[in-house]
Structure 1
Amino acid sequence: MKKGVVIIFVLSLVFMVSCSEKKKDEMSSTQIKKEVTAKDILGNPQYLAISYGGYRERSRDSQPTIPELKEDLKILSAMGVKLLRTYNVQPKLPHASNVLKAIRELKAEDADFEMYVMLGAWIDCLNAWTDKAPNHDVESPNNEGEIERAAALANEYPDIVKIIAVGNEAMVKWATSYYVQPEVILKWVNHLQDLKKEGKLPKDLWITSSDDFSSWGGGSAEYHVEDLEKLVEAVDFISMHTYPYHNSHYNPEFWGVPEAHKDMPDSTKIEMAMERALKFAQKQYDSVTNYMKSLGVNKPIHIGETGWATISNGHYGNNGSRATDEYKQGLYYKSMRRWTNMAGISCFYFEAFNEKWKDAHNAKGSENHFGLFTIEGKAKYPIWDLVDQGIFDGLTRGGNTITKTYNGDKALLLEDVLVPPSEEEIMARR
């Protein structure tokens, strides 16, 4: 064989091998994307989690459109959020199914777009939300359809739906309008787990319930029942809620400024109160961990909800615990993300955007103001730094570019910040 032919042959062989390796790499990359599971996502700081509702009006009758949802998803993706939590799949509220459609469209438009969902199935007791007395020992007949719809969506969108959460604060006894006994949640968790075993749901789909820390055994002994023990065994992970914000009113012992701190600068009093708030959340997390381990169980525990409101004319404002403002929200958000990311805990921060339907008749009600963004798309103090970094450049909400609240004037923002009451003041109120 002549030298020139040999060279050509060798070069051709190298080219073919190179192309083959490139094709393998591309296939491998595609395969990795397809094989991402809840186990890979949960606890991974590269997949920030958030609770998401795209409602922009005072009634959920006004459903956000697919283009509006895509607008929101692009904003969240720019922040590094890759895991959303939704709350129900009720027939007259197609929000969750529309979110899944929006994600699928964005993935079709951009192969690098990545977003997953913890799909919530709402669970109620008999007579919930009616003029009849709720029967907490009997479940609503609507629950079966809710579970069926959640399972159907998980099968329709297996590349997006990675988790189903059975119920939202459905076992905690202060949810007097609708709570059920743990046996109801256990029944439906087991049902979904059985569907996985039968090949009727994706085998890597994880099943949980998202509920208050006390419902997961971290609170009083009245929750420590046999069905809860079975539920802890049945779920793939525990999704617990913790709200120091609400407890600044209901259990304020941690919140008041100690006598020893009375002469400190106001800024220090606020910062130390927020450090105590973080420790309060960590204590509740530890209490659930301890209960789980007391049962001889060891599985992941993630935070299904926690957050901090920025406006309140009720328990948390000027005449209450004084917990409410954007500055405190910023301190809480940063500290929660820092702790959970370092600890390998997913935190479904509540929530992405303000939603004014939650307290439709009280515009300044705290439930309307937990978002990191306002309805108009203004970024609140916790994420001003992201605006500075330019990650929202070219993105809009409702046609509005993403700008900072208070026009980015921190001095103006601080004028609305309240110092928590002293321990003595809190004791006097009780």
Structure 2
Amino acid sequence: MTLKLNAIFILVMSVFVISCNQNKKAEKEMPTRKQVSAKEILGNPEYLAISYGGYRKKSRDSQPSLQELKNDLKILSAMGIKVIRTYNVQVPLPHASNILKAIDELNKEDANFEMYVMLGAWIDCLNAWTGQPVNHDVESPGNAAEIARAVVLANQYPDIVKVIAVGNEAMVKWAESYYVQPNIILKWVNHLQGLKQLDRLPKDLWITSSDDFASWGGGEDFYHVEDLENLVKAVDYISMHCYPYHNTHYNPQFWGVPDSEEQLSDKEKVDAAMKRAVQFSKKQYDSVTNYMKSLGVNKPIHIGETGWATTSKGFYGINGSKATDEYKQGLYYKMMREWTNSNNISCFYFEAFNEQWKDAEHPNGSENHFGLFTIDGKAKYPIWDLVDQGVFEGLTRNGNPITKTYNGDKEALMKQVLVPPALNDIMAHR
């Protein structure tokens, strides 16, 4: 009996030792996921950034499935994107939380998958979107819960959420439907910074607000108030928006073809105008930099949004500034990436995919067409080269493989390109 027990003991111990050795070997072979902070990510050209919404339908009531989000994220990862920006954590819209869940699952499925999030918390004023008179000096009672939800998600996914952005274009005065005064944004930025000090948020989580360049002091003097000065000092970095596309209508002097370029070919006129558009973005970036430094502050400034639409029946189309087509989008995208990457500026390019809910009543409204991909997964001209390189092989959107718009026929694309109007004509009509 004793011999039998000894044999059983030896057998059990042998199995235990083999199991331990196998576990140690597995642990050794398992790649260690690197931990990076916002400070290491932002401004690093190895971490390309983009604004992302996964909505396919004309209403946000139709939420994309978890698998649809994962398919999108794989597409973005294939093109080198490692940081995405979301916009709200509002109830009952689980879009941002589902994105975080999708990234978490992809991380577990593939140790080499790497994606981080700039998590937006929507901020607006009293009576915004209600049909009642808005009060821009008083905030919505829903803001506190929105911030609280962002805090929960940042703590639930600390390895994914690297930035919380308080508000989106929430201070700029043309956002008449919902804008708030800077003191409201400052209140919530200080609140989040305080939670970091109390170890109730990760210490290396960065806090900002993402807003128009003018809201960050780069525009009219009436934005230059004490609360903005304090906000500049309170954020970990400035996230500014610049849209020369919109300014082809609202401030078009840079866009029109000057007399000195009238002898150029149509393509040369377009190319020259797009170079001026990028210079316009640089000028707005510099204006924010100058304002910040005038306050004795020196911290990073990154671009939270910039982009170029490919369809418009309104201000920017054939009856307007003639700014809209895929060729121009391609030039803008590539030149902005070149400039920002070479200057260690993160650029959350707007946006990844077309979203038709933004202007649901007008299918050809420009807001529906800022994506680098169409809703059904066609790659627009800016990223045709990635299709050629095969980076999207095996990936799909809505069940469709990733192919080129225009079937890759650049000649057909160029037939849709509109030449900007003459500068003299622009000035004569203003």
Secondary structure, aligned partner of 2:150: helix
Correspondence 1:211-222 to 2 at 5 A: 211-222=211-222
The 2-side partners of 1:25 and 1:247 are apart by 55
Given residue 417 of structure 2, which amino acid in structure 1 is its aligned partner? V
Q: Compute the TM-score of the two structures, normalised by the length of structure 2.
A: 0.93
- CA deviations over 1:137-172 (Å, ceiling 9, x no partner): 000000000000000000000000000000000000
Query: How far off its partner does 1:269 sit?
Result: 0.4
What is the CA–CA distance in structure 2 between the aligned matches of 1:117 and 1:418, rounded to whole Å? 36
Q: Does 1:391 align with 2:391?
A: yes
What is the match of residue 108 of structure 2?
108
Q: Report the counterpart of residue 16 of structure 1 in structure 2.
A: none
* CA displacement at 1:26 relative to structure 2: 7.1
Could you say what secondary structure the match of 1:30 adopts?
A: coil
Q: Which amino acid aligns with 2:391?
A: I
What amino acid does structure 2 have at the position aligned with 1:269? K
- Residue 310 of structure 2 corresponds to residue 310 of structure 1: yes
Name the SS of the counterpart of 2:32 in structure 1: helix
Does 2:173 align with 1:191? no
Report the alpha carbon displacement of residue 429 of structure 1 after superposing the two structures with TM.
2.1
- 2:293 matches 1:329: no
Counterparts of 1:38 and 1:235, CA distance in 2: 13
| Alignment size in residue pairs | 408
Deviations 1:5-60 (A, max 9, x none): xxxxxxxxxxxxxxxxx999979x626x1x20000100001100000000000000
How far is 1:91 from its partner? 1.3
- Distance in 2 (CA, whole Å) between partners of 1:164 and 1:30 is 26
Separation of aligned partners in 1, 2:124 and 2:63: 22
Alignment correspondent of 1:202: 202
Overall identity of the aligned pairs, in %: 75
Name stretches of at least 5 consecutive residues in structure 1 with no aligned partner: 1-21
SS at match of 2:162: strand
- CA drift at 1:65: 0.4
Q: Aligned equivalents of 1:340 and 1:39: distance in 2?
A: 16
Letter in 2 for 1:148: A
AA at the equivalent of 1:58: K
Distance 1:25 1:169 in 2: 47
Listed as ranges, the matches of 1:226-241 within 5 Å are: 226-241=226-241
Distance 1:39 1:133 in 2: 41
Aligned to 1:377: 377
Query: In structure 2, what is the equivalent of residue 120 of structure 1?
Result: 120
Identify the residue that residue 30 of structure 1 maps to in structure 2.
32
CA–CA separation in structure 2 for the residues paired with 1:26 and 1:137? 57
Aligned to 1:15: none
Once the two structures are superposed, residues 176-230 of structure 1 have per-residue CA deviations (whole angstroms, 9 ceiling, x without a partner) of 0000000000000000000000000001000000000000000010000000000
Aligned AA (1:103)? I
Inter-partner Cα distance in structure 2 for 1:135 and 1:429 = 35
Give the gaps of 5 or more residues in structure 2: 1-24
The one-letter code sitting in structure 2 at the alignment partner of 1:51 is: S
Do structure 1's residue 144 and structure 2's residue 182 form an aligned pair?
no
1:424 shift after superposition: 1.3
Q: Counterparts of 1:268 and 1:408 in 2: how far apart (Å)?
A: 22
Match of 1:170 in 2: 170
**Partners of 1:414 and 1:93 in 2: how far apart?**
39
What is the CA distance between 1:428 and its match in structure 2?
A: 2.3
Aligned 1:231-270 pairs, distance under 5 A: 231-270=231-270
Q: For residues 214-264 of structure 1, give each alpha carbon's deviation from its aligned partner in whole angstroms, at most 9, with x where no partner exists.
A: 000000100000000000000000000000000000000100000111111
Q: Which residue of 2 aligns with 1:271?
A: 271
Task: Quote the Cα distance in structure 2 between the aligned partners of 1:101 and 1:25.
Answer: 27
Q: Could you tell me how far 1:427 is from its partner in structure 2?
A: 1.3
Verify: 1:414 aligned to 2:401, yes or no: no
In 1, the alpha carbon distance for the partners of 2:59 and 2:425 equals: 38
Following TM superposition, by how much is the alpha carbon of 1:387 offset from its aligned partner in structure 2, in angstroms? Answer: 0.1
Q: Distance in 2 between matches of 1:23 and 1:207?
A: 38
Return the alpha-carbon distance in structure 2 between the equivalents of residues 290 and 369 of structure 1. Answer: 33
Deviation at 1:425, TM superposition (A): 1.4
Distance 2:152 2:222 in 1: 35
The DSSP-based 3-state class of the residue aligned with 1:303 is strand
Pairwise CA RMSD of aligned residues?
1.5
Q: 2:351 matched to which residue of 1? A: 351
SS of equivalent residue, structure 1 residue 276 = helix
TM-score by length of 1: 0.93
CA distance in 2, matches of 1:24, 1:192: 37
CA distance in 1 between partners of 2:321 and 2:429 (Å): 10
Deviation at 1:328, TM superposition (A): 0.1
**Partner residue, 2:7:** none
